[in-house]
Structure 1
Amino acid sequence: MAEAKLFAGHVVRRLRRQVGLTQAAMAEMLDISASYLNLIERNQRPLSATLLLRLSERFDFDPRQLSANEPGGGADAVRRRLADPMFGDLEIDRAELEEWLAGAPGGVEAFARAYDRIGQGGSAVTGDDGDPVAPVRREIERWRNHFADLDAAAEQIADELRLGAGDLYGAIAERLRVKHQLSIRILPADVMPDLLRRLDLHARQLQLSELLDPSSRTFAAAYQLAQNEARAEIEALVKGAEFANPAAERLYRRHLTSYFSAALMMPYARFLRACEATGYDIEILQRRFGAGFEQVAHRLTTLSRVGARGLPFFMIRIDRAGQVSKRYAGASGAALVEAPGRCPLWRLHHAFDRPGSLAVQLVDLEGSGDDSGPPRWLTIARTVTPPGRRYGQVDAMFAIGIGVEASLAAPLAAARGIDLTADATPIGLGCRQCVRPDCPQRSAPPAARALLINERERGVSAFRFAGD
């Protein structure tokens, strides 16, 4: 390693900033001087094999990051971009390029992304026009949001924790302390004004904000345990996804870590038994597993274990403007999740009118195009507020919607008293995709139909279209 003169200052600098250390503090942990670490970060000294080993041992650093995280794909990749005729008059030589990589790795990465997107279309490097979320969603749905290896590993650890203590949060905290030499410290909001969770490796502490509620604290502790004990399973899934976009890779890793955390709080077999015994009563499940509404709602979309499947739920999360921040179709295949638009007649949008209350609705979804009629769903919606809210700050709120096909919904506690064969609210996938005639709520004509204008008539809807 020393003979190869491995210069990786940008990786070391990024690692140091991620763990929140000064150069002096990190240098002390690596048994080197702060000035020497400064030279390494500026690529004026190579990263030795001994130092690489210390980074791996003391910061759980994966040496594969040295190549995976090179700005712009590394010097050769950046040089290929600079070979474009538009840069011909700049005469940037190798030495100048290496100085740029060492001194401003963020600037190099920004240049590479801009060039790939604007100069060459962006498909080969960024994919999906630079959007890292779309490829991650595709990968999650490819697995139907069920990761058997993560569920099995989480279930095993959950059983071990359950034998040691009835309090899951306390059991996770003790396991982190004994097995990983990490203590949990709850800090005042003024000390962590903009953070809810922080790992301080120098102090060997997982620091949590006092603003976190009990379920969020447990989830944060489980998230750290996942990073420590489920790394192999998570990295195998990340590697198998083969993302071209580094941001997509990080988002996917975060999703998988969160998945493991939820599976640790709500172990598969126990959770499925509780679902079936309670009629998938979310409020009971929250109390039984010490979880939040959104955590339980998300977990319901993951019950696809071979030989032990739960009901195929979907989940979606929107803000007051109708913008989607989470969507999981799971095994449901629900078009309600995948569609770019939504119908204002769906009570998901009405949940904001009664914060904290459940809105149960039977809906007929327009647009199936088969002889069996439009798909019918039983949906449940409720608002949630993010953890960490403080007085005087932005009062954020989201609406969570979950649903299952009406033909499967009879066992649900939420379906009691509802005739699942009775008339349901007719909804569509947004006005541009919906061809229901005479809808008073219509805001735009369907994209696939010609608009008809008659100066002598005015219908219930402001838009009449061919086929109406």
Structure 2
Amino acid sequence: MVGKLFIGRKVREIRESRRLSQSGFAERLGISTSYLNQIENNQRPVSASVLVLLAERFQIDLDAFSLNDSDRILSMLTEALADPVFASYNPSIHELKLVAQNAPGFAQALLNSHRAYKRNSEQLASIDGQSANGAGEPTAYEEIRDFFHLVDNYVHDLDMAAEALADRLGIPDENVTQALVDHLASHHNVQIRRGAPHETSQRRFDRASRTLFLSPYLPAPTRNFQIALQIAVLEEEERIGEIVGKATFRSADARNVCAAGLRNYFAGALLLPYRRFLQAAKELRHDLELIAIRFDASLEQVGHRLSTLQRPGHKGVPVFFARVDRAGNITKRHSAAKLQFARYGAACPLWNAHQAFETPSQIIRQLAETPDGVRFLCVATELSKARGGFEAPRPRYAIALGCEISYAKDFVYADGLDLTNRAAYDPIGISCRICERVSCSQRAVPPLKSKLSIDPDVRDILPYRIVHGPES
């Protein structure tokens, strides 16, 4: 375990859930009450020996002490506090860690307030100053993005239900399409028919005739996903409603969008059942193409599923995943790794996701390092979605995923790369607005909290010099 582990809030929650006093809990662990008090107040880190005792004497999975949630909140706080509105406050990383680990509710409230401020500022700067959902309110998609981000993109109840159904249907060993079709017919009296050639919808369910119409132009992975999605609609609405109800969304739009996202989640988990998929990812060393063939899935489905492998006690490699359009918009995003995507502004232009458009249908690799010194193996490829015919539009986008370099050897894409050569790593950032690199030729805008120095007699890579802290 790298670094000092300050997990006082989690230790206190374990003690209180057992209804033990500090003295009783300390006695069970074989440590002094004063030491436990210091741990719970984050005055001292938890040692490896205490972690082992917690696991052995209270049957605690060591994964419960993962700081992934705190890391994500820490990343979000760091970006939010880079805003000039907080110019008078420069917290240390230690302060932010304490807030993220011990007061996540307060941190989330601060992030919500900052998000409201950002939206209000954008509205005031717009032509009409109006917004369809009210000043300062987050959009439905922003709420859903944060919901999946903070649950680690893993929804346990839905995932378990999908895996149980996959086991009953023999997925992926049986013919997946036939298994899904037979299940709809036998359990729901639903028949599948080809949609009319001129229809634009991929899937349309006629409840009166119990008929599911599918576009005749869908590739097999998309067709299977749409059938699985219909199963989610017919079987999982109650479970999905309970999950949505507990999330306390602000609007009906957010609740509806979240329900749609959870149906998609169930469909993906049904086609790529957790244990079988995790085993295949390990055996095939995360080779996207081979995994896709084994499960008759698309590369995008495989990449997205890899980012959800966060089941307690059975976690996969922490993976980040994103889908990027040609304008640089990140249309899907999730990170179980330390790499976090920018919530505002565009992604770093040095990231290989953008390069993927220059080499269609090829998988490209990149060794990258963020300004905090963390190194990553990044993989990206360009995909297109054709929906029939020469004149049909062909949306193009890139999918990108990767892991921290400590996990790189679990990926076939690391073969032949010199992981120890620092010069092999491209310097990337999260976004220009919070990246402090001073000599990046691809910088679009200066970092928010830095001062600029402009010398009329000198022109370097940038037309200005970035000054960190007060100028002398």
Taking structure 1 as the reference length, the TM-score comes to 0.69
* 1:389 to partner: Cα distance: 5.0
Alignment of 1:9-158 (within 5 A): 129=137, 131-158=139-166
Residue 431 of structure 1 and its aligned partner are, at CA, apart by 2.3
For 2:364, the equivalent position in structure 1 comes to: 359
Partner of residue 261 from structure 1, selected from 267, 273, 277? 267
Corresponding residue SS for 1:444: coil
Task: Give the letter for the 1:281 counterpart.
Answer: D
Q: How far off is 1:142 after superposition?
A: 1.7
DSSP-derived class of the 1:410 partner? helix
Equivalent positions of 1:58-457 (< 5 A) are 129=137, 131-162=139-170, 166-190=174-198, 192=199, 194-329=200-335, 331-336=336-341, 338=343, 340-366=345-371, 368=372, 374-386=373-385, 388-423=387-422, 424-457=425-458
- Name the CA distance, whole Å, in 2 between partners of 1:163 and 1:211: 24
Q: Is contact 1:132–1:247 with CA below 8 Å preserved after alignment?
A: yes
Q: Is the 8 A contact 1:379 1:401 kept in 2?
A: yes
When structure 1 is superposed on structure 2, of 404-413 and 333-342 the one drifting more is 333-342
Q: Deviations over 1:24-56 (max 9, x none)?
A: xxxxxxxxxxxxxxxxxxxxxxxxxxxxxxxxx
Distance 1:305 1:322, change over 3 A: same
Would the alpha carbon gap of residues 248 and 354 (structure 1) be closer, same or farther in structure 2, given more than 3 Å must change? same
Give per-residue Cα distances to partners, 1:333-368, cap 9 Å, x unaligned. Answer: 4223556432111111011111111111010011x2
Q: Is the 8 A contact 2:317 2:407 kept in 1?
A: yes
Note if contact 1:385-1:397 (Cα within 8 Å) is conserved in structure 2: yes
Q: In 2 relative to 1, CA 458–127 (structure 1 residues): closer, same or farther, beyond 3 Å?
A: closer
Q: Matched residues in 2 for 1:334 and 1:319: separation? A: 19
Does the 8 A contact of 1:389 with 1:395 survive in 2?
no
Deviation at 1:422, TM superposition (A): 1.7
Gaps of 5+ in 1: 1-116, 369-373
Q: Which residue is 2:49 aligned to? A: none
Counterparts in 2 of 1:358 and 1:396: CA distance versus 1, 3 Å = same
Alpha-carbon distance between aligned partners in 2 of 1:322 and 1:384, rounded to the nearest angstrom: 15
Tell me, which stretches of 5 or more residues in structure 2 are unaligned?
A: 1-122
Alpha carbons of 1:434 and 1:385: their partners in 2 closer, same or farther (altered >3 Å)?
same
AA paired with 2:453? L
The CA deviation at 1:189 is: 2.4
* Contact map agreement 1:198 1:208 (CA 8 A) in 2: yes
Q: Which amino acid aligns with 1:459?
A: D
The verdict on how the C-alpha distance between 1:408 and 1:339 changes in structure 2, with shifts beyond 3 A counting, is farther
Residue 365 of structure 2 contacts residue 413 of structure 2 at CA under 8 Å; is this kept in 1?
yes
Which deviates the most, 167-176 or 228-237?
Answer: 228-237
**Counterpart AA for 2:451:** A
Kindly state the Cα deviation for residue 249 of structure 1 after the two structures are TM-superposed. Answer: 0.9
When the two chains are superposed, the root-mean-square deviation of aligned CA atoms in Å is 2.5
Q: Distance in 2 between matches of 1:173 and 1:323?
A: 36
Cα gap change, 1:143 to 1:335, in 2 (>3 Å): same
Count residues with an aligned counterpart: 342
Deviation sequence 1:298-340 (CA, Å, 0-9, x none): 10111011111100111111111111211112x3242235564
Q: In 1, distance between residues paired with 2:278 and 2:444?
A: 41
Structure 1 residue matching 2:421: 3-state secondary structure: coil
- The one-character-per-residue Cα deviations of 1:2-26 (angstroms, maximum 9, x if unpaired) are xxxxxxxxxxxxxxxxxxxxxxxxx
Letter in 2 for 1:446: P
Secondary structure, aligned partner of 1:129: coil
Q: 1:212 to 1:449 in 2, by over 3 A?
A: same
Question: What CA distance in whole angstroms lies between the structure 2 residues aligned with 1:365 and 1:163?
Answer: 39
